[in-house]
Structure formats: C-alpha cells, structure tokens
C-alpha cells in the first residue's frame, strides 16, 4: 500500500550486505517475524540512499573508502552541537531526548547492539541469545546470557554478572523511577552459576525481552560498586556516570558542554578519538550555523527542512538515513485538571478525527520539509510489520466541520466552536528552540482555526518538558491538550506497548515509571498487546501486531505527521560514521577518526 507522496516505503530501496538466510535464521530465533527478517536482510549496510535520504556531500559519503583507516589511538578532539541539554546521563531514567541518547551511547555499551546490518550483535555479551544456540528456551521463558571475560567499568573496576543482577534490582525499584520497566518486570528469578553467566527465568513468555532489556538505549548496566551504597541514580550518578562505552565521562558544565574522553578500559580497544565535547546550544539554528562555519565538527538531530542549506557546503558531509522515528502530535486522553478523568473534549473520537482531517499534512511535508519525506500512518509505517490496509486520514476540512457539528460543537460569535458553555480551545506544547516545530505550530494553529478550533501555544525547554515526575516534568504532569514531538521504536523489535499499553500511562503518585504521558487506554489494545508479547511464533505475532494497528487507527490515537530521517552534518575530516536505521548515528563512536 502506498504511503504518502512517493508511493513507496522510505526503506524499500536500501541494499543489504548480510545474507537473507542468516537474517531469517536469527529472526526466527528471536521471535522476529519472517517478513520483518526479510526487511532486515534488505536493509543491511550503509549504502548511499537515493531520493529519500540521499547522502549528499562534497567529500566522501558514509560508505566512501577514500580516506585510509588510521591506527587506533590516532587522537584528536571533535565537538558535537546539541540543541537540547540532557536531563540526566543515566540510561534507565534518561533517553527521553535525542541529545541524551547521543551522549549515553558514547558512555554505555549495551549488552547487545544493533550493528551496520541492522541485526543484533554482541555488545557486552559473548553472543546474541537465540533458540538455536540454546540462549533462549523453546517456550521463551528462560534466557541464558554470558558476559565477555575481562570486562571493566570505565573506572577500571571489574564488571561481573553481579552487576546485571544489581541492574535488575535497581530498574524495578520504585525509587529509581525508571523510564520504562518493560521486560525487566517480567523477570521471575535470576541464577548466576558463575561470575559471567546469568540464567533468567521469566514469569511468562515475553517475545520482545532480548530487544527491550538488552539491545536498545535501555540495554546498559549499572555498577554495583558505585551505586550499591544507595546514592541517587538520577542526580549524583546521572551527572557523573561510570560506564562501559568507548568514552568515559569527564565533566558536565550546565548550559555549556559535556566532555567525554577515551576509555582505556573499553573492551573493543581504545577509541580512535581522544575526546568528544558536546556543546550545548540554545536552538537548532545555532547548531546549524556553527557546523556551516566550521565552529563545530558535527550537528546532530537535524530536520528535513535544513537539508537544502547544508547539502552543497564544501568540506561538510551530510548523512540522511531513513529511521524509525515519527513526528506526531499526541492527544491528551486525560483531563488536564484531573488526570483520573477522561479528557472533556479529546475523549470523543469524532473530535480527534476532525482535528486530523483539518490539517493538510501533505502540504506541511511539501512546503516545510521540501517534500523530503512522507506523511505518516503510524510508528510501524516504515517497517514490514505495517498493516498495508491503512492509509493516512485525508485532508478534508468540510468533513472535519461536519464531525464537529455531529459532536455538538457549534460556531460561536468569533467562529470558535462552543458546547455546553465550553469554548473549543486546546493548549499545544512542544520543545522551545525547535524552529521547525514552532513553524509547524503556527501552520496547524491556522488549519484548526479554519474549522472552529482555537489552539493556544506554550513551549518549554526539552529538560523541562520531558523531566520525570520527581522533577515536575511538564509532559508528565499532563496539564496540556496537544503535544508535539517525535518518538522512536526502541530497537529492532516492533512491540509498541511502551506507547499504547495502559500499564505505561504515567501517574506521578502510582506509576511514575510509566512512559505514556498522553494517557491512552483501550482494553482491546491492551489485550492484543499482551497477546503479541506472549506469542513466540513470529508469523502469528506479526498478525496480532497488524490487528493492533487497525484498532489504534480506527480510534484515531494520534496526529501522525511524517516519518523523520536521521540527519547529521559532519566535517568531511570526521570519518567512520555509519548511521543505520535502528542503531542511529552514535552506535560506533569508538570507530570515528579524523583524517589528515
């Protein structure tokens, strides 16, 4: 089924390097569907991307071998521009922003990582646990993992399987307020027959377990020798972490920069760069200006709208990679004045549908994004798990007006609709300093006004917007109606429970570790999500996931805007960057180097 403007999937044309047979075998062992495995086989490698996501440069592109590989430890310092300042550098409580993920991936290597072929490969583990190699039992309830020998933390202390056991204890501890508990909360017991091995027994089969607890940005470990004394994980440790990645933490000067330097204890050998300085800047435009001028070496988390001004600059390489990130507007399904009640306006599916149909999303893609991407259907729209029967709701302002009429909202004297004395006015929030999002707000504001909906705007710094309950995070407090940002599938598994399961709804009193600040709850969706998570057979699981998408689509669960590309601009002297759809841009920073 065609999606959006171009009539094809953004990833359909990527060329693979790993054999299809290898990927299919691995997928079956991990509970990944065969169509999805075929997709992974087709998506391997980092070939230049044509049309959508073309790698454009005046110097070698992402796959160029023009620059010779230098020896390890060549040295040098690079600077990376961040337009968001992280809240914390603790993977279990952070990771909400792209800035946090970028820094975290230099400091923490997960148990497994997604490599250049978009398949799981060992990180801290000796091998990827599968049914074939005995790492996963046939019923999916027992997972055996083994750490690589002689691993050390960045402070030089040995890393053992006791750190894994301790990590589980910390993640499920309510005092940690972990960003998400998926998978970790399924563990019934952990046995440690030796200092490198853990035998993990789950309370029930959970197909996404390996991915969500070992292979995404949630797949790191905590050092027992540091945190075993009870120090605060978010503030004390989160501001000066110990890790396992190619770099180690040096300093964090709030509002200025975060510096990391080569970790001499990294198990893959020393990083080729001496250090990376993440410079914190007020907005994305400042980051772009500095990379254009050569004041920084890499600009991260750029937008499609910035491609034209960056693609022809001498000495700058532009990497654009299709990914699993979707820009969307969330509906708040709960009453901002009382989160235990349904939203007085947005709980009506007719109103939600009217809002979507009032917005010309294709025009937004064509004008603000220069037609570089496609209107989104859902977060699985760029994967083979996508339900091909689904299409974006059309732009139809007259139908939107009819739906609002049907729902009892009639135009007032100033054109804004009213019902039972209530004005149809909605507060929209997003990240301050993001020029594209702020432009889009103004455009959407006018579209909604045209059908009789008032949209007011209040934006916040990312650290304020996405802070946890203990820091009075704006999103978590739920005092908004519409919210705009991007979300990414965490890893290669297509489980979307993190976003749409009722047990992920944030409640700062009873469930501060929930992920869903938008509060979506649907018993049928909960049933299907639970069923797919228990289903080990990959084809049966894929069909259930398609059913989930249909229910969510019919329920108009979000305003799906567009599929985002992963876009970075880097000095052409900076080599070794290998962006991938699932691994992102910072998965291999230990291999980055400066050419002469």
Q: Class of the 323-564 domain?
A: alpha beta
Q: Is the overall model pTM greater than 0.85, yes or no? A: no
Provide the pLDDT confidence category of residue 64 given band limits of 50, 70 and 90: very low
Confidence check: pLDDT of 474 > 60 = yes
**Per-residue pLDDT tens over the stretch 291-328:** 999 999 999 989 999 999 999 999 999 999 888 899 99
pLDDT over 70, % of the chain: 87
Hey, is 438 helix, strand or coil? Answer: helix
Quote the pLDDT of residue 55.
34
Confidence check: pLDDT of 283 > 50 = yes
> Where do the structural domains in the chain lie, given as residue ranges?
323-564
Q: Pairing mode, if any, of strands 142-146 and 247-253? A: unpaired
- Tokens 């739920």: give the residue: 478
Quote the pLDDT of residue 13.
31
Quote the pLDDT of residue 96.
61
What is the rounded average pLDDT of the residues 47-67?
32
Confidence check: pLDDT of 56 > 50 = no
Quote the pLDDT of residue 210.
94
The two structure tokens encoding residue 394? 């059309």
Quote the pLDDT of residue 534.
94
What is the rounded average pLDDT of the residues 273-281?
98
The two structure tokens encoding residue 341? 């009640």
pLDDT over 90, % of the chain: 70
Confidence check: pLDDT of 284 > 60 = yes
Q: How many CA atoms lie within 13 A of 93 on its CB side?
A: 31
**Per-residue pLDDT tens over the stretch 513-532:** 889 999 999 999 999 999 99
Q: Pairing mode, if any, of strands 275-280 and 298-299? A: unpaired
Quote the pLDDT of residue 178.
81
Confidence check: pLDDT of 46 > 50 = no
Quote the pLDDT of residue 34.
39
Q: Give the residue, 286 or 10, on which the prediction is more confident.
A: 286
Q: Measured between alpha carbons, how far is residue 232 from residues 157, 235, 236, 237 in Å? A: 20, 6, 5, 6
Least confident of 48-57, 165-174, 501-510: 48-57
Contacts of 319 (CB under 8 A, 6+ apart): 55, 61, 62, 566, 567, 568, 569, 570, 577, 579, 585
Confidence check: pLDDT of 423 > 70 = yes
Q: What is the CA 456 to chain-centroid distance, rounded?
A: 27
Confidence check: pLDDT of 62 > 60 = no
Pairwise CA distance, residues 303 & 438, whole Å: 13
- Tokens 């149909």: give the residue: 357
Q: Pairing mode, if any, of strands 298-299 and 77-82? A: parallel
**Per-residue pLDDT tens over the stretch 338-354:** 999 999 999 999 999 99
Least confident of 12-26, 200-214, 550-564, 570-584: 12-26
The two structure tokens encoding residue 273? 């760069």
Cα R_g (the chain), whole angstroms: 23
Give the closest residue to 123 by CA, choosing from 115, 134, 112: 112
Pairwise CA distance, residues 556 & 553, whole Å: 5
- Tokens 């690589």: give the residue: 148
What is the rounded average pLDDT of the residues 41-59?
34
Q: Pairing mode, if any, of strands 454-457 and 425-430? A: parallel
Confidence check: pLDDT of 490 > 80 = no
Quote the pLDDT of residue 51.
29
Q: How many CA atoms lie within 13 A of 213 on its CB side?
A: 23
Quote the pLDDT of residue 261.
98
The mean pLDDT of the chain is 87
Quote the pLDDT of residue 406.
99
Question: Rounded to 5 degrees, what are φ and ψ at 116?
Answer: -65, -20
Do residues 554 and 528 lie in contact, with contact meaning Cβ atoms separated by under 8 Å?
no
| SS3 annotation, 177-237 | CCCCCCCHHHEEEEEEEECCEEEEEECCCCCCHHHHHHHCCCCCCCCHHHHCCCCCCCCHH
Quote the pLDDT of residue 33.
38
Quote the pLDDT of residue 315.
95
Do residues 538 and 28 lie in contact, with contact meaning Cβ atoms separated by under 8 Å?
yes
Quote the pLDDT of residue 131.
92
Confidence check: pLDDT of 10 > 90 = no
Q: Measured between alpha carbons, how far is residue 354 from residues 124, 159, 412, 435, 442 in Å? A: 49, 54, 18, 26, 18
Confidence check: pLDDT of 35 > 70 = no
Quote the pLDDT of residue 219.
77
Do residues 84 and 99 lie in contact, with contact meaning Cβ atoms separated by under 8 Å?
yes
Q: Which of the 8 DSSP states describes residue 343?
A: -
Least confident of 35-39, 45-49, 191-195: 45-49
Quote the pLDDT of residue 174.
86
**Per-residue pLDDT tens over the stretch 70-126:** 444 479 999 999 988 988 898 887 656 788 889 999 999 999 998 887 789 999 999
Q: Give the residue, 168 or 236, on which the prediction is more confident.
A: 168
Confidence check: pLDDT of 28 > 70 = no
Question: DSSP assignment of 493-524, as one string?
Answer: ----HHHH-GGGB-BTTTBTT--BTT----HH
The string over 500-524, giving b where at least 16 C-beta atoms fall within 10 Å of a residue's C-beta and e elsewhere, is bbbbbbbbbeebbbbbbbbbbbbee
């Amino acid at each position: 089924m065609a999606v959006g403007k171009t009539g094809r999937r953004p990833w359909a044309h990527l060329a693979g390097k790993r054999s299809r047979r290898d990927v299919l075998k691995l997928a079956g062992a991990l509970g990944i569907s065969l169509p999805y495995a075929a997709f992974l086989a087709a998506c391997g490698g980092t070939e230049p991307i044509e049309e959508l996501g073309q790698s454009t440069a005046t110097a070698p592109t992402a796959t160029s071998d023009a620059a010779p590989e230098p020896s390890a430890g060549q040295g040098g310092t690079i600077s990376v521009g961040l337009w968001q300042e992280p809240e914390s550098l603790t993977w279990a409580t952070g990771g909400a922003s792209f800035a946090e993920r970028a820094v975290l991936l230099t400091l923490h290597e997960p148990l497994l990582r997604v490599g250049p072929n978009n398949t799981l490969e060992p990180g801290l583990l000796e091998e990827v646990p599968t049914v074939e190699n005995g790492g996963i039992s046939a019923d999916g309830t027992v997972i055996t993992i083994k750490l690589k020998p002689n691993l050390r933390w960045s402070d030089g202390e040995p890393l053992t399987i006791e750190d894994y056991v301790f990590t589980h204890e910390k993640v499920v501890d309510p005092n940690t307020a972990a960003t998400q508990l998926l998978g970790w909360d399924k563990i019934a017991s952990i046995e440690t027959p030796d200092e490198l091995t853990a035998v993990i027994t789950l309370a029930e089969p959970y197909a996404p377990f390996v991915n969500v607890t070992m292979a995404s940005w949630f797949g790191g470990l905590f050092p027992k020798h540091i945190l075993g004394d009870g120090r605060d994980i978010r503030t004390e440790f989160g501001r000066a972490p110990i890790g396992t990645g190619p770099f180690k933490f040096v300093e964090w000067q709030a509002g200025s920069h975060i510096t990391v330097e080569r970790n001499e204890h990294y198990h893959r050998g020393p990083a080729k760069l001496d250090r990376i300085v993440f410079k914190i800047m007020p907005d994305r435009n400042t980051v772009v200006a500095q990379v254009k001028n050569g004041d920084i070496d890499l600009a991260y988390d750029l937008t499609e709208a910035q491609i034209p001004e960056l693609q022809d600059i001498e000495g700058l390489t532009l990497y654009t990679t299709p990914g699993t990130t979707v820009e969307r507007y969330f509906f708040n399904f709960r009453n901002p004045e009382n989160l235990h009640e349904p939203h007085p306006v947005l709980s009506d599916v007719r109103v939600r549908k009217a809002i979507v149909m009032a917005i010309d999303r294709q025009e937004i893609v064509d004008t603000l994004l220069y037609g570089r991407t496609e209107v989104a259907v859902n977060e699985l729209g760029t994967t083979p798990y996508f339900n091909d029967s689904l299409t974006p709701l059309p732009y139809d302002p007259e139908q939107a007006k009819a739906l609002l009429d049907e729902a009892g909202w009639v135009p007032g004297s100033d054109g804004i609709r009213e019902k039972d004395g209530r004005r149809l006015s909605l507060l929209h929030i997003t990240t301050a300093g993001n020029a594209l999002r702020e432009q889009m707000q103004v455009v959407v504001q006018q579209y909604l006004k045209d059908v009789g909906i008032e949209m007011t705007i209040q934006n916040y710094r990312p650290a304020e917007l996405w802070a946890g309950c203990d820091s009075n995070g704006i999103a978590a407090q739920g005092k908004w109606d519409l919210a705009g940002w991007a979300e990414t599938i965490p890893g290669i598994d297509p489980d979307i429970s993190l976003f749409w399961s009722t047990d992920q709804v944030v409640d700062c009193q009873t469930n501060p570790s929930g992920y869903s600040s938008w509060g979506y709850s649907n018993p049928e969706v909960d049933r299907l999500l639970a069923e797919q998570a228990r289903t080990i057979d990959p084809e049966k699981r894929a069909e259930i996931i398609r059913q989930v998408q249909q229910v969510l689509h019919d329920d108009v669960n979000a305003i799906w805007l567009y599929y985002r590309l992963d876009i970075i601009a880097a000095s052409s002297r900076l080599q070794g960057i290998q962006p991938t759809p699932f691994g992102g841009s910072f998965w291999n920073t230990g291999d980055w180097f400066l050419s002469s």
